[in-house]
Copies of this chain bind each other. A is one copy, B any other.
Amino acid sequence: MPIRTLAQAINEALDIALGQDDRVLLMGEDVGKTGGVFRLSSGLYEKYGPDRVIDAPVAESGIIGTAFGMAVAGMRPITEIQFMGFSYPAYDQIVSHVGRIRNRSRHRFTAPMVIRMPFGGGIGAAEHHSESTESIYAHTPGVKVVVPSTPYDAKGMLLEAIDDPDPVIFLEPIRLYRSVKEDIPEGSYRVPLGLARVLAAGDDVTIITYGAMTAAARKALAILSQEGVSAELIDLRSIVPLDLDTIVESVQKTGRAVVVHEAHRTAGFGAEVVAQIQEHALFSLLAPVQRVTGWDTIVPLKLAEHHYVPTADRIVAAVGKTLEE
C-alpha cells in the first residue's frame, strides 16, 4: 500500500470518481489549469478536460447555484470553495436550495453534490483564510457535514460522499493536507459517513474532536500519558449526522470529557456535543465537560494566532480541570 498525504488521498479519490462515472465533475476557482490553490486536483484537468474539471469565474454563489442545477439534472458535481471563509457568498444557495430541494419537492428532485472546503487555521494565513465555521453548516438542515483527519478517511469518505444521494459538505483540514501521511489502499474503497472513530482508547477522560485538532489532541495524549492519565480520543469525522453512541459509550466509561475545536466558542459545534452528552450521560459525569475552543474573536493573523487556535497544552489544562473534581 502506497504512503499518501491527506492531499494526495483527496487527489486520488477525485481521480477515481472522475474516472468511474461520467456524471462526476469538479468545479471551482482555479481547480483546473493549476490544480487548485492547494494543488489537490493536480493532473485532473489534463486527464479529464475542461468539461469535467471546470475553472469557474470568481463567484461562489454561481459555483454552488449552477452545480445545484447540474445535480438536479443528473450530474454529480464536486465543488471546491477555495477557502471556507469564501463560502459565505454561497451560503444562501446552500441553506435555501441545496439543503431543501428534496424536502421542498418531497423527493421528486434531489441534489447529490459535494461541497469541498479547506478549513481551519494554524498556518498564519491572511484574514478569512483560517475559518472554522462548521457549526453554521451543522445548523443547516438537509446537508451532511463531514471532516476527515487522516489520508485513509479522506479518500474513503470523499468517495462515499460523491456517491451519497444527498448533498455533503466535505471539510478538509488545511493544516493536515501535507503534514499527515499513511499507507492507504490503492483504488477505490469506502468509509461510511456518520461514524466516529476512536483514535486511542483510554479510561480516565474522553477527548472529542475532529479536523486539524486531532493533531493537537494526539500531542495532548502524549503529554497526558506521561502524567499517567489515560485519555480516550474520538475523532468525530462526521458532525452531521453525529455518532452519538460512540460518544456516550466512551463518556459513560470515563466519566469525564473535553471537547476540542478551533471554531469560535459560542454556538460552536462543541456546544452541541456537550448538550448531547449531558442529555444522554449526565449521571455518568464526574466533572463538567470542558470545551477547548477558539474564541468569539476573529482568528488572529500570524503573530497572535497561537492565542486562538487550541494547543496541546490548553487541552491538557482542560483535562486537568475535569480531573480536579
Interface residues of A (CB under 8 A from B): 61, 85, 88-89, 91-92, 95-96, 99-100, 103-104, 127-128, 133, 135-136, 138-139, 141-142, 240, 242, 263-264, 266-272, 274-275, 278-280, 282, 285, 287-291, 295-298
Contact = CB atoms under 8 A, between A and B. Distances in A.
Contacts of A272: 266-267, 271
Given A88-B95, A92-B88, A278 B288 contact: yes
Given A100-B298, A267-B272, 16 more contacts: A61-B89, A88-B96, A95-B133, A99-B298, A103-B298, A104-B127, A135-B135, A138-B266, A139-B264, A142-B298, A267-B271, A275-B289, A278-B288, A278-B289, A279-B288, A282-B288
Contacts of A274: 271, 274-275, 278-279
B266 A291 contact: no
Contact of A133 (B139, B142, B266, B296): B139
B287 A282 contact: yes
Contacts of A100: 127, 298
B267 A135 contact: yes
13 contacts: A88-B92, A88-B95, A89-B92, A91-B92, A103-B298, A133-B139, A141-B264, A141-B295, A240-B266, A267-B271, A274-B278, A275-B291, A282-B288
Q: Give the 4 A-B residue pairs with the shortest CB-CB distance, closest first.
A: A88-B92, A274-B275, A271-B271, A271-B275
A92 B90 CA distance: 8
Given A91-B91, A240-B266, A289-B279, A141 B298 contact: yes
A298 B285 CA distance: 34
A279 B139 CA distance: 22
A126 to B, nearest CB: 11
A9 to B, nearest CB: 28
Contacts of A279: 274, 288-291
A266 B88 CA distance: 20
Nearest to A102: B298
A285 B288 contact: no
A125 to B, nearest CB: 15
A85, A103, A296 — which one has the most chain B CB atoms within 10 A of its CB? Answer: A296
Nearest to A280: B288
A97 to B, nearest CB: 10
A135 B139 contact: yes
A135 B263 CA distance: 14
A111 to B, nearest CB: 14
A296 B141 contact: yes
A267 B268 CA distance: 7
Nearest to A134: B267
Contacts of A135: 135-136, 139, 267
A127 B278 CA distance: 33
A133 B271 CA distance: 16
User: Could you say which of A133, A269, A274, A275 has the most chain B C-beta atoms within 10 Å of its C-beta?
Assistant: A275
Contact of A141 (B88, B291, B297): B297
